[in-house]
Amino acid sequence: MRQPKVTIKIEQYLDERKTLVDKALQKFMPRPSGLASDVINAMNYSLFAGGKRVRPILCMAGAEAVGGSTDSVVPVACAIELIHTYSLIHDDLPVMDNDDLRRGKPTNHKVFGEAVALLAGDGLLTLAFNLMAGYGAEKEVEKKALLRVIDLIASAAGYKGMVGGQVVDITYEGKEPDPSVVEYIHRHKTAALIAASVTAGTILAGGNKDEEKSINRYGQQIGLAFQIADDILNIQGDRKIMGKGTGSDKEKGKITYPSVFGTAESTKIQKELIKNAIESLKGFDNRAEPLRDLARYIINRKL
Amino acid sequence: MRQPKVTIKIEQYLDERKTLVDKALQKFMPRPSGLASDVINAMNYSLFAGGKRVRPILCMAGAEAVGGSTDSVVPVACAIELIHTYSLIHDDLPVMDNDDLRRGKPTNHKVFGEAVALLAGDGLLTLAFNLMAGYGAEKEVEKKALLRVIDLIASAAGYKGMVGGQVVDITYEGKEPDPSVVEYIHRHKTAALIAASVTAGTILAGGNKDEEKSINRYGQQIGLAFQIADDILNIQGDRKIMGKGTGSDKEKGKITYPSVFGTAESTKIQKELIKNAIESLKGFDNRAEPLRDLARYIINRKL
């Protein structure tokens, strides 16, 4: 059976962009040296443990959608991947989700111990801001736009975003599934940084306020849809794709979309979000086509 | 017995500045609300647990030394205190130094649990960058200087600074005391952020490259002297001043200046550093007097 053309196109696009991001990350990351080699090794271990680079790719596509160059957003795109990786390392720690495997590999603390893993997360989070500010101090970029982007990304990563989502995620573990709680968790823990990624690209590429707003709305919607897809895959998914056992959310008493709404209803919500995400892009021309394709691609959760 | 005049003067200066910083921090910090209240409470708990605000005060004094206004550096000064507080929370965690008391109060994880404490640290670190970038995006500041400052502070906090120092600190626990190791730990774990604090003030106030370099040298020297004073106090100190039991470094097998060089030699090294720090300021007029007084004050480690 032939695959639909859009899938082939977007898969090639993702592949090319992933290669570009991986190369840039290799360039930006320090090599282990000196007394603190351990923590540098640990930072590199998780950063190069098979991430799909979804957030950097979205950041570049957000620039593309308003006619900007993707090259100039690469440092910020990579910084976002560092922040994403830090959050995975800290989430996997025994005091948090206590996960031994991530993408089929032992988690950071399983390899380097808890103390070094904790510090590797801190190191990646901090290095992300180095990368963004250092690049901006040296290069010809619109500095006010860059400061706005740093602010936006810090908000999405902090207590108003990921940190806030994670604290609710762990404190509500094992409690009664509640629609407003699960939406809060997913919007903060996942959608916030995804929305910030794509919006950062648009801001850096000089998008106007209306474009910024539409792109942000798109990002919020695909971000939530992305996490719902993850929840569903955690029940139905293939161990090989997930890199960890299925059913782990249920085992831990995690509040997820399927646990609150059931799988069928969750799929319906997810499809509605994708439809709305694409609708948010109605004012954009074909330069936003990658964003539209990416949104459709999420339904299959191959992303 | 009358105290020497300089001590009274600097104590009043420190007191006034501390009040100013505390007020600004109160203004900048979020109040607990919504589902993520727990983590906001935890962030505020450690931030307002009796810190002396040494780093923000140094940041303001670094601006003052080159004739800048102290007001305009307050957001960056406060951001540095957030970063310092985050590092204390993470350092105190059971997987790191496992401390139950800090400044005479239960440590963050003792009150909020390990998961929330870890996230409170992450939240403070992230919020620091929010504060710096958000302020810069909105206000009339030299944006290139601000981006350089964000870069400098991120470097001092990350694997090239505090994170690097902390990883060596914990991995060398219980090992043979080694002069180069203890200097590495203290320079990275403590001196880096102290030097960045004072230098940030100078950069933001428009100091030239020579001034920046001298101030940074001053900061590196007082930073190291400050940590040596802390090491000595850990042996000789009064439980009431320290807020924790004395001798805790020795118990944990920490590599400190006294453990490597003995107390007398450590005191000598410390005095030499202070002398050199003041020497670094020889090109500055009386506007750098607070920095000179602060350096002298460290010998007593009341700071």
Q: Is A168 on the interface with B (CB under 8 A)?
A: yes
Closest to B36 (Cβ–Cβ): which among A30, A118, A168? A168
Question: In the structure, what pLDDT confidence band is assigned to residue A294 with cuts at 50, 70 and 90?
Answer: very high
Inspect the interface and report whether the beta carbons of B35 and A150 lie closer than 8 Å.
Answer: no
pLDDT band at B5 (very low <50, low <70, confident <90, very high): low
Which secondary-structure segment (H or E) carries A231?
Answer: helix A209-236
Which pLDDT band holds residue A298 (cuts at 50, 70, 90)?
confident
Residues in chain A within 8 Å Cβ distance of B116: 167, 171
Nearest to A145 by CA among A29, A63, A82, A64: A63
CA A158 to chain centre: 14
Q: Is the pLDDT of residue A29 over 90?
A: yes
DSSP A247-278: THHHHHT---HHHHH-HHHHHHHHHHHHHHHH
Instruction: Compute the average pLDDT of residues A80-92.
Output: 98
How many residues are given for chain A?
303
Number of alpha helices (DSSP H) and beta strands (DSSP E) in chain A: 16, 2
How far apart CA A215 and CA A163 sit, in angstroms, is 23
User: For residue B216, is pLDDT > 70?
Assistant: yes
Structure tokens at A85: 């990786």
- Pair B162, B117: CB distance under 8 Å: no
Nearest Cα to A63, choosing from A156, A199, A155, A194?
A199
> Could you tell me the maximum CA-CA distance found in chain A, to the nearest angstrom?
56
Mean pLDDT along residues B37-52: 97
Contact of A90 with chain B, judged by CB distance below 8 Å, is answered with yes
pLDDT reported for residue B1? 46
SS3 for B150? helix
* pLDDT at residue B239 in the model: 53
CB atoms near residue A232 (< 10 Å): 18
Identify the pLDDT of residue A248: 80
Residue B40 near chain A (CB below 8 Å): yes
- Residue A244 distance to chain B (closest CA, Å): 22
What's the confidence (pLDDT) of residue B66?
Answer: 98
* B119 lies within 8 A of chain A by CB: yes
Q: Using the predicted structure, report yes or no on whether residue B303 has a pLDDT greater than 70.
A: no
pLDDT surpassing 80 at residue B242: no
Show the domain range for A136.
Answer: 5-299
C-alpha distance from A206 to closest chain B C-alpha (Å): 15
Greater confidence (B248 vs B256) lies with B256
Instruction: Give the mean pLDDT of chain B.
Output: 92
Instruction: Give the span between the Cα atoms of A161 and A87, in whole angstroms.
Output: 12
Enumerate residues 179 to 218 of chain B having a beta carbon within 8 A of any beta carbon in chain A. 181, 184, 188
Residue B299 pLDDT: 76
Confidence band for A4, pLDDT divided at 50, 70 and 90 = low
One DSSP character per residue, A16-34 reads: HHHHHHHHHHHHHSPPP-S
Q: How many domains are there within chain A? A: 1
Cβ-Cβ contacts under 8 Å for A156 (sequence gap 6 or more): A162, A192, A193, A195, A196
From B114, which residue of chain A is nearest by alpha-carbon distance?
Answer: A95
pLDDT for A139 equals 72
Mean pLDDT (whole number) for B173-186: 92
- Which pLDDT does position B4 carry in this prediction? 56
| Region A216-230 average pLDDT | 96
**What HEC string does A152-172 produce?**
HHHHHHCCCCHHHHHHHHHHC
Tokens representing residue B106 in the block: 């239960």
**pLDDT at residue number B241:** 56
pLDDT at B234: 86
CATH of the domain at B173: 1.10.600.10
Residues of B whose CB is below 8 A from A158: 122-123, 126-127, 130
Can you say whether the dihedral through the CA atoms of A57, A62, A67, A68 is positive or negative? negative
Interface of A with B in 54-73 (CB under 8 A): none
CB contacts of B40 in chain A (<8 Å) are 159
Confidence of residue A1 (pLDDT cuts 50, 70, 90): very low
Query: How close, in Å, is residue B45 to chain A by CA atoms?
Result: 15
Please state the rounded mean pLDDT for residues A194-215: 98
Place of tokens 């603390």: A109
Residue B178: both structure tokens together: 């080694």
Interface check for B146 against chain A (CB to CB < 8 A): the answer is yes
Q: Cβ contacts of residue A54 below 8 Å, gap of 6+? A: A194, A226, A303
Nearest to B50 by CA among B99, B113, B105: B105
Percent of chain A with pLDDT over 90: 82
Looking at chain A, which residue has its C-alpha nearest residue B149?
A: A133
Interface contact A101, partner B, CB < 8 A: no
The pLDDT of B215-234, averaged and rounded, is 95
| ipTM confidence | 0.95
B295 has pLDDT over 90: yes
- Distance from C-alpha of B264 to C-alpha of B130, rounded to nearest angstrom: 44
Whether the predicted pLDDT of B202 surpasses 90: yes
The H or E element spanning position B105 is strand B105-106
- Name the nearest CA neighbour of A64 among A300, A291, A296, A303: A291
Is A303 in contact with A295 (CB distance < 8 Å)?
Answer: no
B101 SS3 class: strand
Chain A closest CA to B127's CA: distance in Å?
6
> Does the pLDDT at position B300 exceed 80?
no
Separation CA A12–CA B67 (nearest Å):
57
Q: What is the pLDDT of residues A30-80, one digit of tens each?
A: 999 999 999 999 999 999 999 999 999 999 999 999 999 999 999 999 999
Tell me which chain A residues have a C-beta less than 8 angstroms from the C-beta of B147: 133-134, 136-137, 143, 146-147
The answer to whether B80 and B47 have CB atoms below 8 angstroms apart is no
Residue A265, CA distances (Å) to A90, A261, B281 in order: 31, 6, 68
Its pTM surpasses 0.90:
yes
Residue partners of B229: CB distance under 8 A and separation at least 6 = B270, B298, B299, B301, B303
Residues in A closer than 8 angstroms to B93, CB to CB, are 118
The predicted model gives A143-153 an average pLDDT of: 96
Output the average pLDDT for chain A: 92
Q: Which of A170-179, A204-213, A287-296, B231-240 has the lowest mean pLDDT?
A: B231-240
Is the pLDDT score of A245 beyond 90? no
At B245, the pLDDT band (50, 70, 90 cuts) reads low
Is residue A45 within 8 Å of residue A111, measured between CB atoms? Answer: yes
Q: Does B90 touch chain A (CB under 8 A)?
A: yes
The answer, yes or no, to whether residue A173 has pLDDT greater than 60, is yes
User: Which tokens belong to B210?
Assistant: 């020579």
